[in-house]
Structure 1
């Protein structure tokens, strides 16, 4: 299967980092990952700079990315204030998000899910006027830090509301890393039953080490789009206990072992991961930053 990956490290990865990362370093992160073959990036977010100060430089980052025409650049656009900013920088896609659980919606957006969805209506209208694709993202699709498991029917209803607004692609987010393969299968089936024409993207966090088994379940269900972060960085600042995304290096390694195609040079991706680890000055969770890919041997010659 041909698998399409979206690198979310520049947004989901950096929004929760304590170490300050400069505009130039964010651009270099995108450039290094692009050089490894990933073409789709969730590059930043147009949320309030007060809420997520680490991403307050969104416009400068996007304007500084070289050879932008070769990439597909996405950013989170939660409301009209963010949309007005995003409209000035020529993005390919606006990611319009809402939470499946009410408690997380209040923590993340300071409003309930219904109002968060209503806020998206003018955003999507402006995206259409700008010739930009609006896609949906549903946080806490598999579990909420405040409410526990989220019923599939709740996720389907949020996806249906988004589809009614004209959205054709929906990202299902495992915000706190609680998904299990059987749950992944059930949720995909539930969404497809109600919305057979919707494109599903899966976004897993590796909080409990389940991300790759969940990817396997997604592939078995025919899903060919996944999101990951270089080094396994990330986490939602408004979801207690949330940790990093599935690592891009580990995901590509796994997919190649399973015979899937990604168009990614794993060696160059691992090199980018080591650079990123040095930049953040800490050990990152990606296993492929500690161990060689399967099939590579150690040179024991003295």
Structure 2
């Protein structure tokens, strides 16, 4: 069933999400909202003129009131990360922007599922959860969905195996304290370590996986892309559109999205990413994945780093 999807923010990320959605069958109606009216009207015209090659879809430049009856609202508003800048340095500015947006969009679309994409996404998801007044199940941060995609891309290239066969995840903050719980990393039911041995037994010339190097690849990819082209938007758009597909589906899926923690792994009152059951009702609950003691401590350290930032911002 196609959905009405409203996107707040027509910058590189928001506009690319709108374009990507326009090429798929997830949405029957897309509303794009931005403070820069000229920019948003240009983006909508450009996207709409390419839709003659697909089944009819409505794409409009709107105001907050036009978000009425949205099934999904995607929030991408905020100042983009600059070369050399960390996500956390963006925090207060983007929190203030979110605080100004939230009352208006929630009043227009109180029943929508909200996808928070603005960085730092875990902080923004936390702030939106605290100030929106909405049930927590309606709020989904994009979290480490992109990090997990980057991990699977890297593992696919290393092992020369299709990404769809890889079940490995990035947990924690979408940022510097993220980590890979390798205990739960599998390639079609076989652990990553076992898969390496299996390939060697088949005579395949494959190097042993450099796990710290793979995590560095995941964590540094965004900065690398920004240094080379100024912004990242294709992969995050693909990840968000996949999340919209999950939220519009008839059944639930597993995803590493950011949401409020309530004692899972000994973590309270912070949003970060763990394996989560997500579907047409939004967040259904956390799925406890097998992790060793060290990995749980890494997750707790990530939570503490985020809490330290939250303590410094003006909510």
Structure number with the higher helix fraction is: 2
Structure with greater Cα Rg: 2
TM-score (norm 2): 0.34
Structure number with the higher strand fraction is: 2
